A = this chain, B = another copy of it.
Amino acid sequence: MTNIGEIMNKCNSSTFNLNLDKYYPNSHKIYHKGNIYKDLLVSMRQIKLSNGELVPVYDTSGNYTETNKIIDINQGLAPNRKKFYLSEKPLTQLAYAKKGIITPEMEYVAIRENMALDVTLGASKTKFNYPITPEFVREQILQGKAIIPANINHPELEPMIIGRNFLVKVNANIGNSAVSSSLSEEVEKLIWAVTWGADTVMDLSTGKDISITREYIIRNSPVPIGTVPIYQALEKVGGIAEDLSWEVMREVLIEQAKQGVDYFTIHAGVLKEHIPLTQNRVTGIVSRGGAIMAKWCMAHNKQNFLYTNFSEICEIMQQYDVSFSLGDGLRPGCIADANDEAQFAELKTQGELNKIAYSFDVQTMNEGPGHVPLDKIEENMQKQLSWCNEAPFYTLGPLVIDFAAGYDHIASAIGAANIANYGCAMLCYVTPKEHLGLPNKKDVKDGLIAYKIAAFAADLAKGHPAAYYRNLQMSKARFEFRWDDQFNLSIDPVVAREFHDETLPKDAAKSAHFCSMCGPKFCSMKIHQEIKNFSAANIK
């Protein structure tokens, strides 16, 4: 970890305080204590309902939403995690899991995922029939089925887990490109993203100043940060793919690992022999990293240097507990190319690499598509589970049609919900600007909300008790005409209230037993209450 004071003083308007009331009315932060590690404080958000009930929900916003907390991004967040390190130089989470040790991070995520189990749920209502205990977390990591991406040099982070037996997670991409964007904007995007539920954030910057941008992002991030190190390597060689080398890449990996990046996308599965398989595709290679490595292979007529040096990459990542996100450089770029030979050849290679990483105690997930029609999504998940030893799958979308430009957050949320239901552990969001331009704040929020819906849809389908509990609260509030509670329990309370108030702005309407859609005479729920009264008298 670099000393933030030395390099960071670049932002003028650098303080942030996200008053929770502004985005999540009637919510406040709560902290749940640990059992094994008594001083652990696991942060959550709690919604207070009008009937006095308290509904705890998962929260990714870190300290930014604590009451009256003012955070100076030139200082960074407090390195709270550090005091729980099990040694001066901690091992990877996977190494601890192999030794049978439950780490503070494992207990943290167990409590974080588990919040609703205190609540009487009617357990029979869900098919999610195993308890999320710290030991369960350890076992899932030991089996390679889940990862806790948490670089030992990112002590500002609140641990989270990625695996199909936990809540489905969502990643948001930020980062400047050569064409647009500035440093302070990127940090603001980070904070904005975690406010709207980003579980991890990838910094995909490709312009100048990418080291300093990344430093600001990591030091101010309560969530894991991922990067694609080949982008920085390419900058170092002036943008000429042929000039890349293992030595340049190695330097970048070490710099970023030391800085605290939590996971690296590494396109080591793009083999030279796979490239001809893309020749007849409609849209060829659409991954930036994949295209860069393919070009290097062709120019040098050599095997991908990320593949040939994979063990050394593992050694670097193992020292800092950086997790792998094995890139899918040959993912399909359109429906017509989905599930083709090139794509699956790379996935199979990813599976080999998973095994090598595991032997180095490096936690690993696999990246996946992209663009896949609804009928071909399940095959992706099945092959990944089978070939990659059930490691967490992390997909971009997939988009289920290609011509929804301007609405690709919706076209891809449909695919994302499906693949998550089949077992995908994390979804990389897509914004409405995908394929068209760089997302602004509104796009980031719209993308995240679409993806939180997709993730929750899968959580509910899989029967995660926390998801079921939160969802049930909304249904009850709806039936009991508790309008304020409906707004506050929604994914975006302020918009829900605004939409309601457009037609019925009066305060009295907040307790009215009807709404503007049907009016008082046609309200089915009102009539149903009357039917219940009949029934009590006549039927039973």
The segment out of A27-35, A95-103, A172-180, A249-257 that lies at the interface is: A172-180
Q: Report A501-540 residues with CB < 8 Å from chain B CB.
A: 502-504, 515-525, 527-532, 534-535, 538-539
Taking a contact as CB atoms closer than 8 A, the residue among B407, B475, B534 that contacts A299 in the complex is B534
In the complex, A110 Cα to B177 Cα: how many Å?
Answer: 49
Q: Are B478 and A528 in contact (CB under 8 A)?
A: no
In the complex, A176 Cα to B500 Cα: how many Å?
Answer: 17
Taking a contact as CB atoms closer than 8 A, the residue among B438, B504, B532 that contacts A179 in the complex is B504
Q: Within the complex, what minimum Cβ distance (angstroms) separates A529 from chain B?
A: 8
| A357 interface contact, C-beta 8 A | no
| A437 interface contact, C-beta 8 A | yes
Given the contacts A288-B518, A518-B206, A471 and B125 also touching, CB distance less than 8 Å? no
The segment out of A11-19, A307-315, A343-351, A397-405 that lies at the interface is: A397-405
Q: Are A411 and B502 in contact (CB under 8 A)?
A: no
Q: Are A410 and B450 in contact (CB under 8 A)?
A: yes
Q: Is the interface of A mostly helix, strand, loop or mixed?
A: helix
Given the contacts A414-B417, A535-B279, A538-B301, A178 and B405 also touching, CB distance less than 8 Å? no
| A291 interface contact, C-beta 8 A | yes
Q: Are A179 and B519 in contact (CB under 8 A)?
A: yes
Q: A292, A335, A432, A529: which has the most chain B beta carbons within 10 Å?
A: A335
| A418 interface contact, C-beta 8 A | yes
Range for the number of chain A residues in contact with chain B: 35 or more
Q: Across the interface, which residues of B come within 8 angstroms of A421, CB to CB? A: 374-375
Q: Are A284 and B436 in contact (CB under 8 A)?
A: no
Known contacts A375-B461, A401-B460, A406-B490, then 20 further A-B pairs from the complex at CB < 8 Å, ordered by chain A residue? A207-B519, A234-B521, A275-B535, A276-B535, A284-B524, A285-B525, A288-B523, A298-B531, A335-B468, A373-B457, A373-B461, A403-B456, A403-B490, A403-B491, A405-B499, A406-B491, A410-B450, A410-B453, A414-B454, A438-B503
30 contacts between A and B (CB under 8 A): A178-B522, A179-B503, A206-B521, A282-B476, A284-B528, A286-B525, A288-B522, A291-B524, A291-B525, A298-B535, A333-B475, A333-B479, A334-B472, A334-B479, A336-B472, A374-B421, A374-B457, A375-B462, A400-B457, A401-B471, A403-B471, A403-B491, A404-B490, A407-B450, A413-B414, A414-B417, A414-B418, A414-B453, A433-B517, A436-B500
The 4 closest A-B pairs by CB, nearest first: A334-B475, A284-B528, A374-B461, A178-B519
